[in-house]
Amino acid sequence: MTITPATHADAPSIAAIGSATFTTSFAHSMPEKDLQAYLLTSYAPSVIHAELSDTRENSFYVACLADGAVAGFLQVKHRTSDPCLPPELKLVEIHRVYVATEHHGRGIGGKLLEHALEVVRRDGESQGAWLGVWEENLRAQKFYAGFGFAEKVGRHAFTMGECVQWDEIVLFRF
């Protein structure tokens, strides 16, 4: 497996993995109309193309298998913040670490997260990273904590249509 910067040619794979993973993880927790509206505004290929074009704001990386198939992706957001974050720290957001369901259990998510932290370290300015993880997704919380995202600093609302869920905001400090 290799991890490389994503290109526009990867947008359909990123959109498909993002949509499928989000649906698998969250469909049970929200009305269908809210889920479908969110998928259209977050994982349509045109949305992914636009985010890939905004390189000042986003960095995308894909995990590719030996045959070139995209097994997962990572999105780093460079210019985001949250009111609960310590204002004295310069932090980067790890926005998405998604692996196609059929590739779960192979360590791909861990390799993507390690890559994200290396990207953040290399920028030379950041003092760490932050991410939001759904308060009910205990498996993901445990996964992120295993990589040092254990400092909970607050939470924020994640709104999808009429559905409001809460994310725990966790930090990783260098």
- 44-55 pLDDT tens trace: 999 999 999 999
CA distance 140 to 134: 8
Residue 157: which pLDDT band, with cuts at 50, 70 and 90?
very high
Q: What is the pLDDT of residue 123?
A: 82
Find tokens 């295993």 and name the residue: 146
Burial letters for 29-64: b for 16+ Cβ neighbours within 10 Å, e otherwise? ebeeebbeebbeebbeeebbeebbeeeeebbbbbbb
User: pLDDT per residue over 101-113, tens digit each?
Assistant: 999 999 999 999 9
Residue 90: which pLDDT band, with cuts at 50, 70 and 90?
very high
Q: Is the pLDDT of residue 99 over 90?
A: yes
* Closest alpha carbon to 111 in 65, 169, 68: 65
Q: What is the pLDDT of residue 15?
A: 98
The single-letter DSSP state of residue 27 is G
Q: Is the pLDDT of residue 143 over 90?
A: yes
Burial letters for 80-99: b for 16+ Cβ neighbours within 10 Å, e otherwise? eeeeebeeeeebbbbbbbbb
Residue 124: which pLDDT band, with cuts at 50, 70 and 90?
confident
Q: Is the pLDDT of residue 125 over 90?
A: no
Provide mean pLDDT across the span 120-149: 93
* Percent of the chain residues topping a pLDDT of 70: 100
Angle at 131 between CA 65 and CA 33, to 5 degrees: 80
CA distance 139 to 145: 10
Structure token pair of residue 129:
């990273």
Provide mean pLDDT across the span 136-142: 93
User: pLDDT per residue over 29-84, tens digit each?
Assistant: 999 999 999 999 999 999 999 999 999 999 999 999 999 999 999 999 998 899 99
**Inter-residue contact 131 to 147 (CB < 8 Å):** no
Provide mean pLDDT across the span 79-107: 94
